[in-house]
C-alpha cells in the first residue's frame, strides 16, 4: 500500500476541482484493504473510495479523511461453452478491458468503449451506453465488506441493478470496496437494431462490420465527436442524468412535442436537449463551458473553485425547471466532509511509504 498525505483532489479527478485530501491510500494487494480501512477507523477518519475520478467532483474545503484508490490490476480468463468469463481486478482501466474483450471477438461490452474509469467503479453506477449496461454481462464481484471486515462475493442478483444505480451506490453506499469484477461474455455480435446514434453513423458511413471490434470503433468515433477527452479538457463527461418518465408522463411530454426516447430501460428525454432549448449550449458560465457538441457535458475551462461550478449548475438547472418543470440531476458524485477526525502524528511505516 502506498500512503500519501495532503494531496489535492483536483489532481485526482478529471474536473480538476477540489482542495486537499488529508490522506490518499493506494491499494496494491487485497491484504492492504483491511489495513487501509482499519487505519481510517482507528483515527475516526471518514473514507471515500475513488476510482479514476471521472465521475467525481471535489469541493473547495477538501476532505479531512482518507481517500482509498484501487491500484490492483490483472485479467484472468475461464473458457465457457459460448465464450469466456473474464475476472478483472478493480484497478484495471475499463477501456482496456473492453479492448481486450473485442480482440477476442467477445460481445456484451463493446458499446461501453471509451468510458473513462476503473473497472471497480463499473458496477457501482451500472455504467451504460448505446444500449448496453455492465449489468447485462456481470456475473459477480469480489468485495471487502467494511461493516464486518470480511471478503465476500456478491452475485448479479445481490446488486439490485437499475439505470445508473446498484446496491453499491444506494442502500449499501460506501459499504463495499470492489476488488474484482467477473463478466460472462459470449463470442458473437450485437443484434440489430442498434441504438439510434449507432444506426445513424452506420447509415451515414455505409458500414457493414458489426463485430465487437467494429462496434467499438463506431462508438469510439461517436464519443470522440461529442465528449471531450478528460486528459485534454477538464470534464466529468455527462454531467446531468437523462430525465426518466412514467408512461403517462411520457405521453404528456410527447403531446408537448418533447423528444421522448422509449427503450428497454424506460422512457427518457436527453438532458442535453433541455439545456439546448434554454440557450446554454456552448455558453461559458462562471468558467464552466457548456459543450457545443453535447450540452449535457460541462467543461472546466477556467473555473478555479467548486463554487464556480455550483453557480453554473444552479443557472442551468433553474432555467430548465422554469421553462419545462423538470429538475435536472447531477450525475457525478461529490467528495463531502462528514465528520471530524482525530489529530494523529505522521503515519508509521506499518502503513506504507509517505510520498
Q: How far apart are CA 14 and CA 300, in angstroms?
A: 9
Name the 3-class secondary structure at 144.
strand
pLDDT beyond 60 at 341: no
Instruction: Give the residue numbers marked as catalytic.
Output: 164, 238, 331
Task: Write the pLDDT tens digit of every residue in 183-225.
Answer: 999 999 999 999 889 999 999 999 999 999 999 999 999 999 8
Query: Is position 44 within any domain?
Result: yes
pLDDT of 17: 96
Instruction: Give yes or no for a contact between 15 and 300, defined as CB atoms under 8 angstroms apart.
Output: yes
Does 45 share its domain with 126? no
Structural domain boundaries, residue 249: 240-330
Query: Is position 222 within any domain?
Result: no
Q: How far apart are CA 120 and CA 157, in angstroms?
A: 18
Instruction: Give yes or no for a contact between 310 and 298, defined as CB atoms under 8 angstroms apart.
Output: no
Query: Is position 227 within any domain?
Result: no
Look at the block and give the residue holding cell 444505480.
165
Q: How far apart are CA 178 and CA 141, in angstroms?
A: 7
Does 93 share its domain with 173? yes
List of residues 6+ apart from 145 with CB closer than 8 A: 151, 152, 175, 176
pLDDT beyond 70 at 100: yes
Q: Among residues 55, 337, 64, 71, which one has the least CA distance to residue 178?
A: 71
Q: How far apart are CA 107 and CA 194, in angstroms?
A: 13
Task: Write the pLDDT tens digit of every residue in 106-118.
Answer: 999 999 999 999 9
Does 66 share its domain with 17? yes
Confidence of residue 339 (pLDDT cuts 50, 70, 90): low
Q: How far apart are CA 255 and CA 240, in angstroms?
A: 24
Entry field: residues in the chain: 355
pLDDT of 347: 46
Does 342 share its domain with 325? no
Confidence of residue 262 (pLDDT cuts 50, 70, 90): confident
We report the CATH number of the domain holding residue 159 as 3.30.465.10
Q: How far apart are CA 256 and CA 3, in angstroms?
A: 55
Does 59 share its domain with 109? no
Does 13 share its domain with 79? no
We report the CATH number of the domain holding residue 297 as 3.90.78.10
| pLDDT mean across residues, the chain | 92
CB half-sphere exposure, 44, CA atoms < 13 A: 7
Domain tally for the chain? 3
Does 142 share its domain with 87? yes
Express as a percent the part of the chain with pLDDT over 70.
95
pLDDT of 348: 42
Query: Is position 195 within any domain?
Result: no
Strand stretches in 191-242, DSSP E: 235-238
Range 331-337 average pLDDT: 91
Is the link from the previous residue into 135 a cis peptide, with omega within 30 of 0? no
Task: Write the pLDDT tens digit of every residue in 213-223.
Answer: 999 999 999 99
Task: Write the pLDDT tens digit of every residue in 275-304.
Answer: 999 999 999 999 999 999 999 999 999 999
Does 150 share its domain with 175? yes
Query: Is position 214 within any domain?
Result: no
Confidence of residue 158 (pLDDT cuts 50, 70, 90): very high
Angle at 233 between CA 232 and CA 236, to 5 degrees: 120
We report the CATH number of the domain holding residue 63 as 3.30.43.10
Range 124-151 average pLDDT: 96
pLDDT of 114: 95
Amino acid at each position: 500500500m502506498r500512503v500519501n498525505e495532503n494531496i489535492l483532489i483536483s489532481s485526482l479527478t478529471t474536473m480538476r476541482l477540489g482542495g486537499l485530501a488529508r490522506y490518499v491510500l493506494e491499494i496494491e494487494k487485497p491484504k492492504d484493504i483491511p489495513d487501509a480501512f482499519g487505519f481510517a477507523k482507528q483515527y475516526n477518519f471518514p473514507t471515500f473510495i475513488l476510482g479514476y475520478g471521472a465521475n467525481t467532483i471535489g469541493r473547495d474545503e477538501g476532505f479531512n479523511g482518507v481517500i482509498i484508490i484501487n491500484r490492483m490490476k490483472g485479467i484472468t480468463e475461464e473458457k465457457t461453452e459460448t465464450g469466456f468469463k473474464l475476472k478483472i481486478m478493480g484497478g484495471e482501466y475499463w477501456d482496456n478491458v473492453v479492448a481486450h474483450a473485442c480482440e477476442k471477438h467477445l460481445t456484451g461490452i463493446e458499446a461501453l468503449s471509451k468510458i473513462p474509469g476503473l473497472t471497480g467503479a463499473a458496477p457501482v453506477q451500472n455504467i451504460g451506453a448505446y444500449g448496453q449496461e455492465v449489468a447485462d454481462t456481470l456475473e459477480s464481484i469480489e468485495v471487502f465488506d467494511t461493516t464486518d471486515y470480511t471478503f465476500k462475493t456478491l452475485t448479479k442478483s445481490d446488486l439490485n441493478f437499475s439505470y445508473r444505480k446498484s446496491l453499491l451506490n444506494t442502500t449499501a453506499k460506501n459499504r463495499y470496496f470492489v476488488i474484482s469484477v467477473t463478466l460472462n461474455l459470449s463470442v458473437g455480435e450485437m443484434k440489430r437494431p442498434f441504438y439510434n446514434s449507432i444506426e445513424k453513423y452506420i447509415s451515414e458511413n455505409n458500414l457493414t462490420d458489426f463485430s465487437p471490434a467494429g462496434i467499438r470503433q463506431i462508438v469510439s468515433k461517436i464519443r470522440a465527436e461529442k465528449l471531450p477527452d478528460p486528459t485534454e479538457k477538464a470534464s466529468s463527461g455527462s454531467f446531468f442524468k437523462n430525465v426518466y418518465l412514467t408512461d403517462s408522463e411520457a405521453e404528456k411530454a410527447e403531446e408537448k412535442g418533447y423528444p421522448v426516447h422509449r427503450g428497454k430501460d424506460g422512457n427518457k428525454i436527453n438532458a442535453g436537449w433541455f439545456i439546448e432549448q434554454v440557450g446554454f449550449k456552448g455558453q461559458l458560465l462562471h468558467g464552466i463551458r457548456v459543450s457545443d457538441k453535447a450540452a449535457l457535458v460541462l467543461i472546466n475551462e477556467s473555473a478555479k473553485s467548486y463554487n464556480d461550478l455550483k453557480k453554473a449548475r444552479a443557472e442551468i438547472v433553474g432555467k430548465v425547471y422554469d421553462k419545462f418543470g423538470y429538475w435536472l440531476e447531477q450525475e457525478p458524485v461529490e467528495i463531502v466532509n462528514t465528520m471530524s477526525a482525530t489529530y494523529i502524528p505522521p503515519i508509521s511505516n506499518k502503513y506504507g511509504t509517505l510520498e
